[in-house]
Amino acid sequence: MSKFNNFGGGNMQQMMKQAQEMQKQMDKIKEDLSETAIEATAGGGMVTVEMTCAYELINMKINPQVIDQDDPEMLEDLVIAAINEALAQVTAIRAEKLPI
């Protein structure tokens, strides 16, 4: 019988078990992130967005005072700014929580 017949068999099983455990941990972190929400604002609170750490926009509030029929671009810019701030916050949280 060759000394190479069962090469790495025990180690391979241990590695597979470790990989499965790591996958379970990653799934738990992703679940936790999808349940975690942040809030970001723009224009001194005129536009507020809420986003999960799974990048899902779940709420937006616009103060009626910022709605100007003659200047829709201002509102558009505030919405974009609030969403970009939320994305930046979520990205930072994910970078902290997720390895790689």
Report pLDDT for 87: 97
Q: Whole-angstrom Cα distance, residue 44 to residue 62?
A: 11
Give the H or E element holding residue 2.
none
Q: Does domain 9-97 have CATH number 3.30.1310.10?
A: yes
Report pLDDT for 97: 86
Which tokens belong to 47? 């536009």
Hey, what long-range contacts does 73-78 have (CB within 8 A, 24 or more apart)?
A: 75/47, 78/42, 78/43, 78/46, 78/47
Question: Where do the domains of the chain lie?
Answer: 9-97
Q: Whole-angstrom Cα distance, residue 67 to residue 98?
A: 39
**Mean per-residue pLDDT of the chain:** 89
Which tokens belong to 67? 């709605």
Question: What average pLDDT does range 33-51 have in this prediction?
Answer: 95
**Which residue is listed with tokens 């929580």?**
97
Q: Whole-angstrom Cα distance, residue 35 to residue 79?
A: 23
Q: Would you place residue 34 in the very low, low, confident or very high pLDDT band (cuts 50, 70, 90)?
A: confident
Per-residue pLDDT of 1-25, as tens digits, reads 555 555 556 788 899 999 899 899 8
Per-residue pLDDT of 46-60, as tens digits, reads 999 999 999 999 999
Residue 82 has pLDDT above 60, yes or no: yes
